């Protein structure tokens, strides 16, 4: 049981929009905040479309879908969400962006609010530095893509994270239908420490002509029983996000093996970011 009735979700991209929707379908009010009006519009369209699909597939009633949509409030400024007892940051994977946001989150939300980050790889302890004596309320709450479907939430304590913060985070994740599993505060935690080098190696296999991208993916799907090949997964995550995560692993763990493959870097430079831009390794209908 969680006593959290409303959350603020900072960032309305791939992850933030999924987190807000999952909260709402679990009966928790969500303030969806983003500095980009275009991203807020996209999040709103994604929420409508996903809920409509849920009704069509008889996973929920029209009334339940309408009630969930009513629980989401869209805002360009986090001040609109200041009453929320729990804030989840899901903005760009960049430590400076996150430090600045956490400073603002500390000032915006009440003295007891929990300040969680959905970072894929950045140290929770490092992010918590920007909030001084509120560091005990900072925690990693790492959801997976697509959030409404994926069960896991990696829960990461920073050096100063309190037991009360951890307990409330586990309770919220559970109330959102997720399975929280703890991991320690090392770059990439468990999931991306293991996943990203495999994705990077798939880019090398393509770049070196070991196989074309379709066959790299088909081999890994049929040979390892993966539901999705690593290159398709990279598009789904966002090539820019994969690149940023690998740079964090490379800098923090100090091993060349984490440095992003030149072909991945080039695709990001060309603006080929995956599903979200319509083209990455493969072509996609824009979300």
Q: Does 172 bind ligand NAD (CB under 6 A)?
A: no
The residue from 118, 123, 161, 200 that contacts ligand NAD (CB under 6 A) is 118
Give ∠ CA 238-271-124 in degrees, rounded to 5: 40
Q: Name the minimum Å distance from CB 184 to ligand NAD.
A: 17
Q: In what order do the strands lie in the sheet with 179-183?
A: 72-75, 29-33, 6-10, 86-89, 114-117, 138-142, 152-157, 179-183
Q: Does 139 bind ligand NAD (CB under 6 A)?
A: no
Q: Which residues of 8-39 are buried (b: 16+ CB within 10 A; e: fewer)?
A: bbbbbbbbbbbbbbbbbbbebbbbbbbeeeeb
Q: For residue 6, which phi and psi values (nearest 5 degrees)?
A: -145, 145
Active site residue: 17, 118, 130, 192, which one? Answer: 192
- As beta bridge partners, residue 27 has none
How many amino acids of this chain bind ligand NAD (CB under 6 A)? 29
Active site residue: 120, 121, 130, 200, which one? Answer: 120
Q: Does 264 bind ligand NAD (CB under 6 A)?
A: no
Q: Does 135 bind ligand NAD (CB under 6 A)?
A: no
The residue from 4, 8, 9, 16 that contacts ligand NAD (CB under 6 A) is 16
Residue 92 near residue 10, CB atoms below 8 Å: no
CA 271 to chain centre: 20
Let me know if 63 is a catalytic residue: no
Let me know if 283 is a catalytic residue: no
DSSP run (H or E) holding 115: strand 114-117
Task: Identify residues 57-96 at the interface with ligand NAD (CB under 6 A).
Answer: 90-93
Q: Does 123 bind ligand NAD (CB under 6 A)?
A: no
Six-digit token pair at 30?
């969500």
CA 216 to chain centre: 26
Task: Identify residues 224-243 at the interface with ligand NAD (CB under 6 A).
Answer: 237-238, 241
Residue 118 near residue 146, CB atoms below 8 Å: no
Q: From residue 179 to residue 218, what is the string marking binding to ligand NAD with x (rule CB under 6 A)?
A: ----------------------------------------
Q: Which range, of 8-16, 64-72, 201-209, 218-226, touches ligand NAD by CB under 6 A?
A: 8-16
Let me know if 154 is a catalytic residue: yes
Let me know if 192 is a catalytic residue: yes
Residue 245 near residue 192, CB atoms below 8 Å: yes
Q: Name the minimum Å distance from CB 120 to ligand NAD.
A: 3
Binding site for ligand NAD (CB under 6 A): 10-16, 33-36, 39, 90-93, 97, 101, 118-120, 142-145, 237-238, 241, 276
Q: Which residues are catalytic?
A: 120, 142, 154, 192
């Amino acid at each position: 049981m969680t006593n959290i009735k409303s959350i603020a979700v900072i960032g309305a991209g791939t992850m933030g929009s999924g987190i807000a929707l999952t909260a709402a379908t679990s009966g928790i009010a969500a303030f969806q905040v983003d500095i980009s009006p275009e991203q807020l519009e996209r999040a709103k369209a994604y929420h409508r479309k996903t809920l409509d699909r849920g009704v069509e597939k008889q996973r929920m009633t029209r009334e339940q879908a309408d009630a969930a949509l009513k629980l989401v409030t869209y805002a360009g400024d986090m001040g609109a969400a200041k009453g929320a007892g729990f804030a989840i940051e899901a903005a760009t994977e960049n430590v400076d962006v996150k430090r600045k946001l956490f400073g603002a989150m500390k000032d915006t939300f009440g003295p007891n609010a929990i300040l969680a980050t959905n970072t894929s790889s950045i140290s929770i302890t490092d992010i918590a530095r920007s909030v001084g004596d509120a560091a005990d309320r900072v925690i990693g709450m790492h959801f997976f893509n697509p959030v409404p479907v994926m069960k896991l939430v990696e829960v990461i304590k920073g050096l100063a994270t309190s037991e009360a913060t951890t307990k409330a985070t586990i309770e919220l994740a559970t109330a959102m239908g997720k399975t929280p599993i703890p991991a320690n505060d090392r770059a990439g935690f468990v999931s991306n420490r293991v996943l990203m080098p495999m994705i990077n190696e798939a880019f090398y296999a393509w770049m070196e002509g070991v196989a074309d991208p379709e066959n790299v993916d088909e081999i890994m799907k049929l040979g390892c029983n993966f539901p999705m090949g690593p290159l398709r997964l990279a598009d789904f995550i966002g090539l820019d996000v994969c690149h940023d995560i690998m740079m964090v692993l490379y800098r923090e763990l100090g091993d060349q093996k984490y440095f992003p493959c030149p072909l991945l870097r080039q695709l990001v430079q060309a603006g080929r970011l995956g599903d979200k831009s319509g083209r990455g390794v493969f072509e996609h209908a824009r979300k």
